[in-house]
Amino acid sequence: MLQHITIPRGPIELAADLYLPDSADSIAPLRAVVLSTPGSSVKEQIGANYASRLAAHGIAALVFDPAHQGRSGGEPRDLEDPYRRGEDISYALDALTTIPRIDPQRIGVLGICAGGGYAVHTARTDHRIKAVGTVVAGDMGTSFRSFQSDGPAAALDALADARIEEARSGEMARVNWLPDTLEDAAAAGMTDIDTTQAITYYRTERGGHESSTNRRLSRSDSLLLGYDAFHLVDQLMTQPLQVILAGRIGNTGQYEAGMKLWKLAPNPVDLMVIEGAGHYEMYDEPEYVDAAVERLADFYVNNL
């Protein structure tokens, strides 16, 4: 069962979908999971693939569009603020605890790709989250710092100059998350398998969605460059942890980030490596997604 709901978030609202087990009309209280989705994605994409499957396993699952993105409110549009992404999760928890039949003491989180880092960062200090699951989790701060050919400090200098120009012109710049087409990627010399698979998912009928703009507000990047998703995890994130990794390591950083998280966490419960899968194949390939959800469902049943 799918319910479209809105989540109050201060002066704006988040657009969300709540997936409920078909047996949700029974009287037993439900376990629930809030999903934190990849950067640039909207709730109808990767989040829906995982949320619907979790509901089929008897676990309520809430997926939402982040503030400033998709069908959620918030200006300016296309902002990717890692701190606000974490706050979104906490507002989603607020909403879940008011829904009849959801047990507020049995709510977990599932973070996918960049959403994995956001989920972990939130769980450190929001202990309403009782269990943390991740799939190909990434730390956006580490990733963005690694992308800078002249180093992150130089990138911050350039972003500062650009924001001065934005203030003068009154126009906010946007950049692509990905090349819009495989042809654009090839022209830019980006022919690695991960970029190719990302474009094939996000920018074609396979996984594309009209609400996913593939654009990021440039001023987001200074926030991302200074972000550390795993800061103080070893001291604060005491919840049970499930880490699921794609077996083909690639260049997205998911394997390295997942293993780092596994070693940092005070309460690691289960580590799964899905052999043969690449990062973006974990988004919608049934063989890999089904295997991940089977393991996640067991984890949540045992820890929520």
The model's pTM is 0.97
Determine the pLDDT at residue 131: 98
Digit-coded pLDDT (tens) for 263-294: 999 999 999 999 999 999 999 999 999 999 99
Residue 8, preceding peptide bond in cis (omega within 30° of 0): no
pLDDT band, residue 25 (cuts 50/70/90):
low
- Give the orientation angle of helix 114-123 with respect to helix 82-96, to 10 degrees: 70
Distance CA 16, CA 242 (A): 24
* C-alpha gyration radius of the chain: 19
DSSP class per residue in 205-232: TTT--TT---EEETTHHHHHHT--TTTT
Digit-coded pLDDT (tens) for 231-271: 999 999 999 999 999 999 999 999 999 999 999 999 999 99
Task: Say if residue 23's pLDDT is above 80.
Answer: no
Task: Say if residue 102's pLDDT is above 80.
Answer: yes
Digit-coded pLDDT (tens) for 166-210: 999 999 999 999 999 999 999 999 999 999 999 999 999 999 999
Task: Say if residue 24's pLDDT is above 90.
Answer: no
